Structure 1
Amino acid sequence: MTPSVVTYALDRLADLGIGHVFGVPGDYAFPINDAVEVHRRLSWVPSANELNAAYAADGYARRRGAAIVCTTYGVGELSALNGLMGSMAERLPVFHLVGTPSLRIVRQGLICHHTLGDRNYDRFEAISASASCVSARLTPENAVIELERVIDKALEESRPAYLTFPMDLALMPITGTPIQGSPLGVIDQHDSVAAELEAVLDLLEARIASASRPVVLPTITLKRFGLVNAFEEFLKASGLAYATTPMDKALLSEQHPAFLGMYNGGRSTPAALQSVVEDADLVVDLGGLVLEDLNTGLWSGSLDPNRIVALHADWVQAGHQVFTSVSISDVLAGLTRRFQSSSNRLSYWGEHRPVQPAPMLPRVGAPDQPTDSASFYPRLQQFLRPNDLLLSETGTCLLKLNAIRLPDGVTMESQTLWGSIGWGTPAALGCALAEPERRVVLVTGDGAHQLTVQEIGVMGFTGVNPVVIVLNNGLHGIEALISETGHAYNDLPPWRYANIPAALGCKGWWCGRAGTVAELEQAFSAISAHQGAAYLEVLIPAEESQPLAEEVIEIFHQTTTPKSALPD
């Protein structure tokens, strides 16, 4: 039987290994909703709203490699845009499926709901398409060829795709021959031109051999294109050491013998790492560093571009030299082979590292002492176990977590570049569904949590078992940090956070509240022993969220008229 347009589209996306669809039902999207409901490889996840659905799909794509979010025309798709723009910024292939009015309505010029009443039925397409790298309106005639184009482009760019389904056309059979797709992991996103590739390999081999202080800076591009294992093999073959920026934290275990620490300009951890990276005579940038404010210690780093060889997804730059049509996967594989066949393995691991990474934090705080950041983070560090996925919400908790060294085998996700507060809770849901074999540990502030807390109920509904830790300081702490104290707009309504899972229908969850160090230790012990999800509220003093120094805030915002410097 020939599949319908919408069934075929879902089949092709499921071929990639996607198993869930996040969304909110809507009448124009009913053909998509109905097709998901009966699809043997896909499960519907009933998100509380479209923004949360997009955030959850973002988290899912981080761990599964791609995701689907489904919304309805106009009101639904526009509500999802912030989340999808975040996936654009953070390079995640989320397929946005939108049901639109039937062409029968459009051809008659009938005014329908979810419009401005002006018969402009295409008004929202350009807006939603701007949150994607590729888009298409699927019809029976173009479904087969357009889906191949859209999927190929979304995976090549590792960014969202936007697909619209007019209600009547979505139900019609396709006219082409269906294609059986391949799962992610066996699809090559980029091909290399042989001459360009060999030139890059020759250049890198020579630059590495002549360098006396080389360092590698890997980026999340490696994770987006499934190259983390290839990167680890490259390290093993070469003997080079590496550091990460905040955006790329825990790409490999931070107990890896080649790990140096967190390079973040003047806020690097350990502090000596800044000079190690900036004084290196060769920096191998694997994936393209994002020189954003929070990824560079407020632009306090100083990297000499002439010492950097930057490997982007499909091109390479070394000073004034640019090589095109070169796949980063081919470069990693080629360099690894060359090092494996050479007897000149470098040795920058373990005790030979130019700087040792920061040690684990010492436990501080007496049992009866009120909880604060100083007592919380060392205990969180010890609470984490191998194979955990630590997910940090945007906010002061992210700044704290970036600076600590994670235990062996712990990986981490954050939204450093886009930085939308509220992302963390739905993203944790997506991560937990994408990798049910991992324990997801979410650390979020109370301000961000209040924005998207409804997804706790979806967690209970879907049966995932995360550990949700809410740091309650009663205010938008990150905003207070970069503004001034005393602003009423930073204050939050006081919620009884530990009661939320039960109120939202979650069953079998461990829930509790810690206001002293003893209570915190007891809570972590109880959660570790509990077989299921957990929700912990930890009190943090509001006084910790003191504004940064005026000169630091000025660097961050740059609102003051510069003072003219007179020549000598």
Structure 2
Amino acid sequence: MATVVTYLAQRLYELGISDYFAIPGDYNLGILDELLKYPALKMHNCCNELNGGYAADGYARIKGAGALVVTFSVGGLSAINAIAGAYSENLPLIVVSGAPNTNSVQDAEILHHTLAEEDTSYVRRMYAHVTALTTFIHRPEDAPMQIDRAIAVAMDKRKPVYIEIACNIPAKKVSTPTKSAHNAKRVSDSSSLKAALKHASEKLNQAVKPVIVAGSKMRPCNACKEVAAFSKATGYALAVMPDAKGFISEEHPNYIGVYWGPVSSPSCSEIVESSDLYFFIGPNFNDYTTVGHDCNLDPLKMITIKDGTVSVGGAIYTNVYMHDFLQGLQRLVKFNNTAYKAYTRIKEVVTYPEPTDLKAPVTRRFLLQQIQKMLSKNHAVIAETGDSWFNALDLTLPEGCLFEIQMQYGSIGWSVGALLGMQTALKDQKRVIACIGDGSFQMTAQELSTLIRYDYHPIIFLMNNSAYTIEVQIHDGEYNKLNNWDYSALVKAFNGNSVKAQAFKVKSSQDLTDALKEVSKTKALCFIEVMLDKNDCNKHLLDWGSRVQQYNSRPPRAG
């Protein structure tokens, strides 16, 4: 026999989850006690629920799913912003919350941690907007069915789910779970698929310079390998949207860079926008990924597939899924590498000159150059919302180097918790390099102590320019100034009684060079505070910020 919560633990383990993130509270202590009886799962205590949610998000990006355990109401509502981000980014998180005693619910008692009203279902109603399913487990005999349904929905929809468990039933006995592969797949409508393939293949075979642009929604479809294989088999030039950087190897033979409209990689936008047919696979067209919807693309020259729908020049085919479509299309289209050959003729190689005076103030360019030299298959990169996006997107990733940003939701502060999740998932396989702005770090700085607590060894570059730089470039004001912390001193405070992590404060190019020599010799967490001029930001941020500002400032339409 299992208990309600060990049944859940078994299902989490079957998903590939070996770690979960938790913040204790009186309503979830029984849940945590039962989870600790399942040794294959390791608990990671976070400083607060928001950070725990970000950690589960980062973990799911590596493992395919993540888990967070919170207490009722005050814990769940603290985490809800992170869960909303995971929802928007198509990440299946299993959020488990303790809930009031079943007798308290039946008797309509007024309880602590609530809104001082009899109805305690309000948390589920709030979570209904940012999850694919919410459920309240209050009868042990129903727990297996409710747990299995929630997990099935999370994996099918690639969205978070929210499970409340009454605090008096976590240890109640239920049947032992039968093994589940959690591998149910959607099947395309055969007639719609056939028609879509015929129309798309005709268009592609007629095109002179077809090009592929891959977006972030190919990952929830588990289609990244299929996209790479399709490009290789067809010869089509292959670009990625900014939120899909790292999803496909940048050493792919047809890779041409990041397509981001006017702030694309060098020579990439010229090839994409001059094509007579662009094939967007899993695109996420929002105002950030399109620079305020300012891309020079003709919808009539576009084929897209996402969310089970194919569009060929505006003609729509529904219930057609990515695996079926790409595999079928690959058999029907002719080899055509014209666009890639055009790219090789105009490709620009960007180089940054070495500084003539290493004692001069360190610059963003020099920092980026040094990070580039560090990268290998043994690293992963995570970039915070802001100038770090643009700097990290300029990096060239070697084979096997992972990359993560949160471009759809763009929640400032996300990266500190997500770094914890990524490094927890990767363990010692890869060392995560985090690029984080000072404003973002101030929002979630506590999780640095959790990284130290569990003896993880990431490398954190804290860009200190005393401002919310991305906001400055969109719309500046007094509100974008920061109280300038002594960031590197926080490492000493968070180390506690044992000295584990190392901190460096970098003001000059020589300081950075010296710090990186030390970093290469230690496996401890390394925190490098880089003092940058407020106006030393990526040129693409300047262009992007002005365009987004114009987009946000459009006057109301008359009538």
Tell me the SS of whatever aligns to 1:513: strand
1:390 maps to 381
2:321 equivalent to 1:331: no
1:303 maps to 297
Structure 1 CA distance for aligned equivalents of residues 346 and 30 of structure 2? 57
Partner amino acid, structure 1, of 2:446: Q
Quote how far apart the aligned CAs of 1:260 are. 1.2
Structure 2 CA distance for aligned equivalents of residues 232 and 179 of structure 1? 36
Quote how far apart the aligned CAs of 1:322 are. 2.3
Structure 1 CA distance for aligned equivalents of residues 392 and 297 of structure 2? 24
1:273 maps to 268
Retained in 2: the 8 A contact 1:71–1:97? yes
> CA offsets per residue over residues 418-459 of structure 1, 9 Å max, x none?
111100111011011112211110000111111111111111
Retained in 2: the 8 A contact 1:219–1:286? yes
2:281 equivalent to 1:286: yes
1:199 maps to 195
Quote how far apart the aligned CAs of 1:350 are. 6.4
> CA offsets per residue over residues 154-197 of structure 1, 9 Å max, x none?
112211111111112333223x67331226xxx24422233333
Change (3 A) 1:465 1:472: same
Retained in 2: the 8 A contact 1:389–1:440? yes
Retained in 1: the 8 A contact 2:256–2:340? no
2:142 maps to 142
2:228 equivalent to 1:237: no
Quote how far apart the aligned CAs of 1:394 are. 0.6
Q: 1:255 aligns with which of 241, 251, 257?
A: 251
Partner amino acid, structure 2, of 1:527: V
Q: Which piece of structure 1 moves more, 554-563 or 276-285?
A: 554-563
Structure 2 CA distance for aligned equivalents of residues 446 and 141 of structure 1? 50
Quote how far apart the aligned CAs of 1:538 are. 0.7
Change (3 A) 1:35 1:131: same
Tell me the SS of whatever aligns to 1:163: strand
Structure 1 CA distance for aligned equivalents of residues 551 and 493 of structure 2? 40
Partner amino acid, structure 2, of 1:328: M
> CA offsets per residue over residues 73-118 of structure 1, 9 Å max, x none?
1100000011000001111001111110011111222221111222
Structure 1 CA distance for aligned equivalents of residues 558 and 146 of structure 2? 55
Quote how far apart the aligned CAs of 1:346 are. 2.9
Retained in 2: the 8 A contact 1:284–1:308? yes
Structure 2 CA distance for aligned equivalents of residues 188 and 310 of structure 1? 24
Q: TM-score, normalised by structure 2?
A: 0.92
> CA offsets per residue over residues 205-240 of structure 1, 9 Å max, x none?
332222111010111222233322222222222211
Structure 1 CA distance for aligned equivalents of residues 492 and 253 of structure 2? 44
Structure 2 CA distance for aligned equivalents of residues 129 and 463 of structure 1? 36
Retained in 1: the 8 A contact 2:507–2:531? yes
Change (3 A) 1:551 1:61: closer
Q: How does 1:110-125 map to 2 (within 5 A)?
A: 110-125=109-124
Structure 1 CA distance for aligned equivalents of residues 189 and 178 of structure 2? 27
Structure 1 CA distance for aligned equivalents of residues 503 and 395 of structure 2? 26
Q: Percent identity?
A: 28
1:412 maps to 403
Q: Which piece of structure 1 moves more, 517-526 or 54-63?
A: 517-526
Tell me the SS of whatever aligns to 2:288: helix
Partner amino acid, structure 1, of 2:252: H
Change (3 A) 1:182 1:407: same
2:459 equivalent to 1:463: no
1:312 maps to 306
Retained in 2: the 8 A contact 1:358–1:405? no
Segments of 5+ residues of structure 1 without an aligned counterpart are none
Structure 1 CA distance for aligned equivalents of residues 325 and 119 of structure 2? 48
Change (3 A) 1:34 1:517: same
Q: Which piece of structure 1 moves more, 10-19 or 349-358?
A: 349-358
2:343 equivalent to 1:353: yes
Structure 1 CA distance for aligned equivalents of residues 235 and 542 of structure 2? 40
Segments of 5+ residues of structure 2 without an aligned counterpart are none
Change (3 A) 1:254 1:563: farther
2:169 maps to 169
Quote how far apart the aligned CAs of 1:253 are. 2.6
Q: Which piece of structure 1 moves more, 120-129 or 523-532?
A: 523-532
Quote how far apart the aligned CAs of 1:527 are. 1.5
2:472 equivalent to 1:480: yes
1:510 maps to 502
> CA offsets per residue over residues 448-474 of structure 1, 9 Å max, x none?
111111111111122221111101112
Q: 1:501 aligns with which of 487, 491, 516?
A: 491
> CA offsets per residue over residues 268-302 of structure 1, 9 Å max, x none?
221x4324222322211111x22222211222103
Quote how far apart the aligned CAs of 1:541 are. 0.8
Change (3 A) 1:424 1:254: same
Change (3 A) 1:554 1:448: closer
Tell me the SS of whatever aligns to 2:140: coil
Change (3 A) 1:66 1:419: same
Count of residues in Structure 1 that have an aligned counterpart in Structure 2: 551
1:527 maps to 519
1:58 maps to 57
2:417 maps to 426
Tell me the SS of whatever aligns to 2:16: coil
Tell me the SS of whatever aligns to 2:75: helix
Structure 1 CA distance for aligned equivalents of residues 522 and 261 of structure 2? 40
Quote how far apart the aligned CAs of 1:60 are. 0.5
2:213 equivalent to 1:210: no
Change (3 A) 1:369 1:530: same
Retained in 2: the 8 A contact 1:95–1:163? yes
Retained in 1: the 8 A contact 2:382–2:405? yes
Change (3 A) 1:430 1:234: same
Quote how far apart the aligned CAs of 1:503 are. 1.5
Change (3 A) 1:348 1:72: farther
Q: Which piece of structure 1 moves more, 42-51 or 8-17?
A: 8-17
Q: 1:451 aligns with which of 443, 446, 466?
A: 443
Quote how far apart the aligned CAs of 1:351 are. 4.9
Change (3 A) 1:129 1:480: same
Partner amino acid, structure 2, of 1:35: E
2:432 maps to 440
Quote how far apart the aligned CAs of 1:146 are. 2.5
Change (3 A) 1:350 1:304: closer
Tell me the SS of whatever aligns to 1:252: coil
